[in-house]
Structure 1
Amino acid sequence: MDTTLTAILLGIVEGLTEFLPVSSTGHLILASEMFGYDAAEWAMFNVVIQLGAILAVVYQYWGTFWNAGMGVLRLEPAGLRFARNILIAFMPSAVLGLVFKDYIDVMLGSPELVGWALILGGMAIIAIEKIAKPGEEVAVSDLPLKQVIGIGIAQCTAMIPGVSRSGATIMGALAMGVNRKTAAEFSFFLAVPTMIGATALELFQNGDDLMDGTTRIGWSEIAIGFAVSFIVALIVIRLFVAYVSRHGFTPFAWYRIVIGAVALIWLTMR
């Protein structure tokens, strides 16, 4: 497949799935199997274009980030609590991600694991939706530390490809009584340091080839994927919060189960 077309395709997949509880990484792994491109060759591309999706979050919630940043500089309680909550929730996955990176890289090469993770994750979403009792809507800065730490620990399960970072954080929040809208927005905000950290680590470890121009996938493909993922993610973010506030997450759970089952059947029969 042409590299430009592949970059557009992967940018769409990233933008559509990064903030939905369906696993962007899992979809990118399955896409590599379905369309036959070299997943290893596009591995750094897949990580870096996440910054396009991150930019969509910053753009959509610019006022929140600005107020929080100014609040930190002015030592205002709300701004300090916002920064504290995001950093505390980020730390568990940051530490474990560094410690177990080699094991995570091995798991990224298993599309079968993605299929099972999609199915089991879908079942978990259905169960949590049935038993969770979400509380009243509150600001992210007002979440208590107990819930923040729990969400940070839940995010660690997303190191398994197919689990979904947003799904893990949102479902972890719901299980602890957080309102759906607050859970979704906290997941968006938490994605910023998480994916910036993942991108920085990837560029630090594998960026020399990209800078030297020795890879077939270069800056032009990354620019295309970045732009596409930004546009698509911005649309998804704007629609997602309104949708889940009214309908919940169960439709995404059934989608996961169907896609996971189809993927496993296809991988067995190919």
Structure 2
Amino acid sequence: MPILWLVVILGIVEGLTEYLPVSSTGHLILATELMGFDADRWALFNIAIQPGAILAIVVLYWRTFWTVARGLLGWEKGAVIFTRNLLVAFTPAVVVGLALDDVIESLLGNAAVVAWALIIGGIGILLVERFARTEPTGGISGVSLKQSIAVGLVQCLAMVPGVSRSGATILGAMSFGVDRRTAAEFSFFLAVPTLTGATVLQLAKHHDQLGTGMVQWIALGALVSFVVAVVVVKAFIAIVTRYGFAPFAWYRIVAGAGALAWLAVR
């Protein structure tokens, strides 16, 4: 397969899965392997195209970012709490990510880990959907400090490929009483500092791999992921509001089982 098609396909996969509770990293690893490429060699690319998905959130929610920025200048309560919640939820990922960076990186090419994480995560989603008791919180500014800390701690589980950052944060929030819509939006906004930090860390660590050709491929992959993510995020809110997260749980279980079967016979 020509590299161009691989780059476009991986960009589509990133945009499709970054904000769904199905694990974008896991799908990128499996997609790379399915197309006959070494996932380890493409691990940096898969992380480096994340800015495209980040930009999608900035564009879709620019009014919220603008309102919060203006509110911070006036030290408005809602804006301050919104920012506090994101910073508190982001901090555990920074600490754990820096401490276990080498361990996490060693898992980025392991398709078997991804398959099992997809299945276990799918079961976890079904359990949370069945037993979680949530109530309207009035948006991210209505999320408590305790709930924000819990979301941040749960997000660390997503450093294992296949767990899903969005899935962990959304289901973590719901487990502590946050309603579906707010949990999903919390996950979207938390993605901006989290994915930015992960991308900067990996690019700084592996800058020697960034030749002119690689930068061009990364730019194309990021552009594709941006376009796809814009469409997906809008649809995702509508789906979870009406149907919940169970459809994604069953998809994870089927995809994980399929991946294990493929790994066993390849």
Same fold by TM-score greater than 0.5: yes
Q: Tell me the residue number matched to 2:233.
A: 237
- Matched residue of 2:235: which SS? helix
Q: Tell me the residue number matched to 2:147.
A: 147
Does residue 269 (structure 1) correspond to residue 265 (structure 2)? The answer is yes
Does residue 253 (structure 1) correspond to residue 238 (structure 2)? The answer is no
How far the C-alpha of 1:207 sits from its partner, in A, is: 1.5
Q: Tell me the residue number matched to 1:176.
A: 176
Once residues 8 and 240 of structure 2 are traced to their aligned partners in structure 1, the CA distance between those partners, rounded to angstroms, is 27
Q: TM-score, normalised by structure 1?
A: 0.96
> How many residue pairs end up in the alignment?
266
Q: Tell me the residue number matched to 2:72.
A: 72
Whether the 8 Å CA contact 1:115–1:162 is kept in 2: the answer is yes
Q: TM-score, normalised by structure 2?
A: 0.97
Q: Tell me the residue number matched to 2:222.
A: 226
Whether the 8 Å CA contact 1:128–1:171 is kept in 2: the answer is yes
Once residues 108 and 227 of structure 1 are traced to their aligned partners in structure 2, the CA distance between those partners, rounded to angstroms, is 22
Does residue 11 (structure 1) correspond to residue 7 (structure 2)? The answer is no
Once residues 174 and 142 of structure 1 are traced to their aligned partners in structure 2, the CA distance between those partners, rounded to angstroms, is 14
Whether the 8 Å CA contact 1:4–1:224 is kept in 2: the answer is no
**Matched residue type, 1:56:** A
Whether the 8 Å CA contact 2:151–2:169 is kept in 1: the answer is yes
**Matched residue type, 2:264:** T
Once residues 138 and 207 of structure 1 are traced to their aligned partners in structure 2, the CA distance between those partners, rounded to angstroms, is 42
Whether the 8 Å CA contact 1:133–1:175 is kept in 2: the answer is yes
Greater than 4 Å deviation, 4+ residue runs: none
**Matched residue type, 1:246:** R
Whether the 8 Å CA contact 1:137–1:181 is kept in 2: the answer is no
Whether the 8 Å CA contact 2:129–2:246 is kept in 1: the answer is yes
Does residue 104 (structure 1) correspond to residue 104 (structure 2)? The answer is yes
Of the structure 1 ranges 219-228 and 5-14, higher mean CA displacement relative to structure 2 is found in 219-228
Q: Tell me the residue number matched to 1:187.
A: 187
**Matched residue type, 2:56:** A
Whether the 8 Å CA contact 2:52–2:223 is kept in 1: the answer is yes
Once residues 209 and 32 of structure 1 are traced to their aligned partners in structure 2, the CA distance between those partners, rounded to angstroms, is 18
- Matched residue of 1:136: which SS? coil
Instruction: Name the % identity.
Output: 55
- Matched residue of 1:254: which SS? helix
Q: Tell me the residue number matched to 2:60.
A: 60
RMSD: 1.0
Q: Tell me the residue number matched to 1:130.
A: 130
How far the C-alpha of 1:74 sits from its partner, in A, is: 2.1
Structure 2 residue runs without a partner (length 5+)? none
Structure 1 residue runs without a partner (length 5+)? none
Once residues 102 and 77 of structure 1 are traced to their aligned partners in structure 2, the CA distance between those partners, rounded to angstroms, is 39
Whether the 8 Å CA contact 1:180–1:245 is kept in 2: the answer is yes
Whether the 8 Å CA contact 1:20–1:167 is kept in 2: the answer is yes
**Matched residue type, 2:228:** V
Does residue 162 (structure 1) correspond to residue 158 (structure 2)? The answer is no
How far the C-alpha of 1:114 sits from its partner, in A, is: 0.6
